Each structure stands twice: as C-alpha cells, then as structure tokens.
Chain A
Amino acid sequence: MEKIPILRLGSFLLVSIQVDMHDRLALALQDDLTAKIVEHRARGVLIDISSVEIVDSFMGRMLANIASMARILDAETVVVGMQPSVAITLVELGLSLPGIRTALNVDRGMELLRATRESEEPAVGG
C-alpha cells in the first residue's frame, strides 16, 4: 500500500500530501508521524498541502488530529501552502481549522516553528 513519505529537516518533520487521501492512508500517516516524532525527537511538523485541491471535513479532522497528537508529543504543527480556492471554500463551509497554524510555504512555516521554539526556550545569557 502506498505510504506518504515523511522527510526530516533538522529537528522538524515535513509531510507533503500529494494524493487523494482516504481513510486507511490517513490513519497510516498518523501512525507513521507519531512514530517518527518520537524517534527523531522532532520539535515541529510541517504539513505541505500545496498540491491538495480539496479539503473537506474529513481532511480537516485529520489535520486537527495530527496537530493534537503532535502537541502531546511536544511538537508544534504548521500547515503550509493552502491553495486560494481551498481557503475560499473552507470559509464558505464554515470550517476554521481551530488550533492549527498556517503559513504560506515551507520556509515561512519553518520560521514560524523556530520562533515558537525560541519563545519557549529559557533565555541563555552570558
């Protein structure tokens, strides 16, 4: 069965969703991510949806689940690359993706993750 690849970028993980997701694939992704966050002690997860043309409530729940799960494991999640027509449709749907932060692309997403991390670390003086 196809799996969604998870890349490691330093202390962050990057997932690029390229295909039409269905239940089994989504569950497999959540399992994989959990394992990898622990394995690499990742501090952040970037989910790239720039190739995703349809985000429905199922996809919304999946993203929310991933964010919740990652938070429990002390990793922050940022969803990047949302297409304008997807954003417009979500607004019309009334789906607001609560608790999920977004950025325009991977670079900005990483900036966001680093800024969050820095604000959490105790200040190092000297």
Chain B
Amino acid sequence: MVEETHELALRTNEDVVQVRQSVRTAAVQIGFNIVDQTKIVTAASELARNTVVHGGGGRARIEIVRDTTKAGLRLTFEDHGPGIRDIDQAMRDGFTTGNGLGLGLGGAKRLANEFSIDSKPGEGTRVSIARWKV
C-alpha cells in the first residue's frame, strides 16, 4: 500500500523549500497533472511553514500510496510545539496580512482530498493530508 516513504526534517526555511521540491517530485512520479501538482505542493508549503514557524520545528513525511483502485500522496507534518488550543478557530483563520497568524489550515484542507489534525496544547501538532490521482 505505501510504496515509498520520505522523511524530512523541518527546522529552517530552507527545509520548507526542500519539502516543496520533494513533494513536487513525488507528485510528478504519481502522474498528477500540473494543476493538482500545484495544489498539493502549495498545501505542503503551508503546512511545512506552520511546523517551522509555529511549531518550533519538526518533521515531514511524504508517502506515495497505491492500492488496487487508486494512487496518491499522503503528507504528514509533525511538531512538538505549543499545540493549537482552538482548532476550529485555527481552521477558520484567513490569510491575514501583516502580523496575523494566517495558519493556512483551512486552505490546505480545501486543496486536499483528505485532511486530519491532531493537536494538544503543550504537546504538539500533527496534520495529515492526502490527495488522490483521478
């Protein structure tokens, strides 16, 4: 089922760039068209940046998943940072300019087929998204 796994550290902004490139490569490998590639890489960029900026650093896991009916990409972002107190609120935050949080969680959810989030204040956050090739 899980064909390939890549784990990447997410500590600096250069790491975010690295995650984008790795997700892009995986998306091309699965055969996503250009628009779907852009969507999943953009979602990954949002979540990776969250991990670095708000989560105090963590890691990303890229999984190429295949079963009898479909193929796709599952991305998981994990940190041991402060966690999110009000997840609903966080999902609704828009892209504020200036100093707003602009967590981009809602956006990442809209760009993916599957989305799940697990967060405990004081312990950390794990966000997982998946996108399937039609």
Among the listed A20, A68, A93, which residue makes an inter-chain contact with B42, where contact means beta carbons less than 8 Å apart? A93
Whether a CB of chain A sits under 8 angstroms from the CB of B45 is: yes
A89: chain B residues at CB < 8 Å are 35, 38-39, 42, 111
Chain B interface residue number, banded: 20 to 34
Whether a CB of chain B sits under 8 angstroms from the CB of A81 is: no
Whether a CB of chain B sits under 8 angstroms from the CB of A86 is: yes
Q: Is the CB of B13 within 8 A of A56?
A: no
* Cα(A11)–Cα(B17), bound, Å: 34
* Contact code string A65-86 (vs B, CB < 8 Å = 1, else 0): 1001000000000000001111
Which of A57, A65, A95 has the largest number of chain B CB atoms within 10 A? A57
Whether a CB of chain A sits under 8 angstroms from the CB of B107 is: yes
Whether a CB of chain B sits under 8 angstroms from the CB of A2 is: no
* Contact code string A92-119 (vs B, CB < 8 Å = 1, else 0): 1111001000000000000000000000
Q: Is the CB of B38 within 8 A of A65?
A: no
A65: chain B residues at CB < 8 Å are 97-98
Q: Is the CB of B35 within 8 A of A85?
A: yes
B102: chain A residues at CB < 8 Å are 57, 61
* Cα(A93)–Cα(B35), bound, Å: 13
A70 nearest CB across to chain B (Å): 14
* Cα(A4)–Cα(B16), bound, Å: 19
A83: chain B residues at CB < 8 Å are 38
Q: Is the CB of A22 within 8 A of B104?
A: no
B106: chain A residues at CB < 8 Å are 94
Q: Is the CB of B46 within 8 A of A56?
A: yes
| Interface of A toward B, CB cutoff 8 Å | 20, 22-24, 53-58, 60-61, 64-65, 68, 83-86, 88-89, 92-95, 98
| Additional A-B contacts beyond A57-B107, A85-B34 (13; CB < 8 A) | A20-B17, A54-B20, A57-B49, A58-B49, A60-B95, A61-B102, A84-B35, A85-B38, A86-B38, A89-B39, A89-B42, A93-B104, A94-B94
